[in-house]
Amino acid sequence: MQGSAKGKVVFIAGASRGIGQATAVGFAEAGAKAIYLTARSEAALGETRALVEAANPETACAIAACDVTRAAEVEKAVTECVARFGAVDVADANAGYLGPWVKIGETDPEGWWHNWEVNLRGTYHVIRFTLPHLIASAKRWAAEGGSGGHLILLSSIGAQLLMPGASDYQTSKHAINRLCEFVQTDHGADGIKCFAIHPGGVPTELGKQMPEAMHAYLTETPDLAACFAVWLASGAADWAKGRYLSATWDVGELAEMQNRILQDDLLVNRLRAQV
């Protein structure tokens, strides 16, 4: 994907470690013009910025402390990104939360809802405040014969599962998949390309919050999800916009299934009933 992000400005929420950090490095290696990094800790973001600068000294990089659950902070960060770098061509809503796995009848109400505050409300805030700039990007790149206006939402295979004790996390990720579809329905005509992605089983700090028995499935590296995000933002998979995709899938095989996926409207949330 070398050179595939040339000229693009990338906004990443949740970029201080793990998948978000690897994604920032991935876009730098792909030649991004600039990368704007946010997370709650500005100090932690400094490490990611250093990695970005080492990966590509020509990629400009800025950081800002930002809590995605606070609309005003996200709006301010996006505004500062545009003021500094002139655009948002790719937005990556990577910030997430996973609390203890507890059966619904034993959950702490505030803790249960916090999953939704971070995973869904936080994702919505990134969507809401980057969309006007992504729409402008899509139009500008289309006029130049390229592809812009890419929005990547971090979902999970958990969105498709029913694991005892994971009701807060898995339902919030399921909702992200549906939100992705709504973004595409509302703004597809504006040139937006939105994707909800499963990053693979990655042994991040968040992933290790799962019960220990699940750790055997954490076999991927953050680089896999990062490279998948860079590939999506290259325009190679624009035909799959509005869908749930997994970084663990072979992209060549996915491309070969394009006609079937579109014809049967696959990789979306639907209820099918036989009469």
Which residues are identified as catalytic?
A: 169, 173
Side by side, which strands form the sheet with 150-154? 60-65, 34-39, 9-13, 90-93, 150-154, 193-198, 243-246
Residue with tokens 């979306």: 268
Residue with tokens 């295979």: 157
Contact of 39 with 14, CB cutoff 8 Å: yes
Nearest Cα to 125, choosing from 171, 66, 169?
A: 66
Nearest Cα to 36, choosing from 97, 96, 95, 82?
A: 82
Provide the strand spans (E) within 77-120.
Answer: 90-93
